[in-house]
Amino acid sequence: MIQDRKLIVQDLGLLPYGLVWQHQKAMVSARKQNPQLSDALILTEHNPVYTLGTGSQTKFVHFDLTNPTYEVHRIERGGEVTYHCPGQLIGYPILNLGHHHKDLHWYLRQLEDVIIQTLAHYKLHGQRIKGLTGVWVDNYKVAAIGIKVSRWITMHGFALNICPDLSGFARITPCGIADRPVGSIAQFLPNISIDEVKPILIKEFTQAFNLLATDVVTPATALGNYTYDIKI
């Protein structure tokens, strides 16, 4: 593992899912062409949207997928259906695991640890559950994780529920787990905001992956000239 590689942090704010998805794919493609490019962490929020992993089962979606009222994407990541909305801090790491560890289980556990240590800053006890991926607090799932790795370059990532409207989760069985409710940090800390959590999470991310964070990049300089089309 190479110590202290640079990390580009892109804080994109609230953007449509499809735009950031396209941006991720462009960043992965660039790193396949040049493996020495810096690692990156995209931080964003999305307008309400449902995403299904490659092998997601439609039985976990409780609305008509043939004529959906809601924005829906089937994407490359693993895992079942989930929901994104404002108030949820989403992290898309674009890492070359060839410079870290070529081990997907290690990578998933590191992402969980980033969340657990971020929660610990607020004296919340984040827990893993054997056989499942994600992080729970008092049996509420506050963070979901779903990844895609191609030629050891990562994309997709984690969603940490900070202060979202959770009602959209009622239309699905989140991550295919029926017996464990989805929750948020705001249930335990009512006045928490995404902006206060971001620097803490960035710090924990850099420590977990032995990275040096560079200046945060804004959407104006991070995003290319992408077009955005909703795809069902």
Asked if 161 and 142 count as a contact pair (C-beta separation under 8 A), the reply is yes
First to last CA, the chain: 39
The confidence band for 86, taking pLDDT boundaries of 50, 70 and 90, is very high
Residues of the chain with pLDDT > 90, as a percent, come to 81
Q: Is the pLDDT of residue 224 over 80?
A: no
Asked if 73 and 146 count as a contact pair (C-beta separation under 8 A), the reply is no
- Residue 185 and residue 162: Cα distance in Å, rounded? 5
pLDDT of residue 228: 35
pLDDT, tens digit (0-9, with 9 covering 90-100), for 148-181: 999 999 999 999 999 999 999 999 988 888 788 9
pLDDT of residue 213: 76
SS3 36: coil
Which of 6-10, 62-66, 177-181 shows the lowest per-residue confidence on average (mean pLDDT)?
Answer: 177-181
Asked if 55 and 78 count as a contact pair (C-beta separation under 8 A), the reply is yes
Mean pLDDT value across the chain:
90
Read off the tokens for 50: 């449902």
The confidence band for 214, taking pLDDT boundaries of 50, 70 and 90, is confident
What average pLDDT does range 104-113 have in this prediction? 98
- Residue 76 and residue 149: Cα distance in Å, rounded? 9
pLDDT, tens digit (0-9, with 9 covering 90-100), for 117-135: 999 999 999 999 999 999 9
Q: Is the pLDDT of residue 226 over 50?
A: no
Asked if 78 and 158 count as a contact pair (C-beta separation under 8 A), the reply is no
The confidence band for 183, taking pLDDT boundaries of 50, 70 and 90, is very high
pLDDT, tens digit (0-9, with 9 covering 90-100), for 22-61: 999 999 999 999 999 999 999 999 999 999 999 899 999 9
Q: Which of 172, 175, 182, 185 is catalytic?
A: 175
Element containing residue 148 per DSSP (H, E) = strand 140-150
Sheet arrangement for strand 82-84 = 72-74, 49-52, 82-84
Domains annotated for the chain, with CATH where assigned, are 5-222 (3.30.930.10)
Which class for 178: exposed (0-12), middle (13-18), buried (19 or more C-beta within 10 A)?
exposed
Residues of the chain with pLDDT > 70, as a percent, come to 91
- Residue 123 and residue 121: Cα distance in Å, rounded? 6
pTM of the full structure: 0.91
Which class for 175: exposed (0-12), middle (13-18), buried (19 or more C-beta within 10 A)?
buried
What average pLDDT does range 105-112 have in this prediction? 98
What average pLDDT does range 136-153 have in this prediction? 97
Handedness of CA 59, 65, 71, 76 (dihedral sign): positive
- Please say if 175 is a catalytic residue: yes
Helix pair angle (104-121, 194-208), 10° resolution: 140
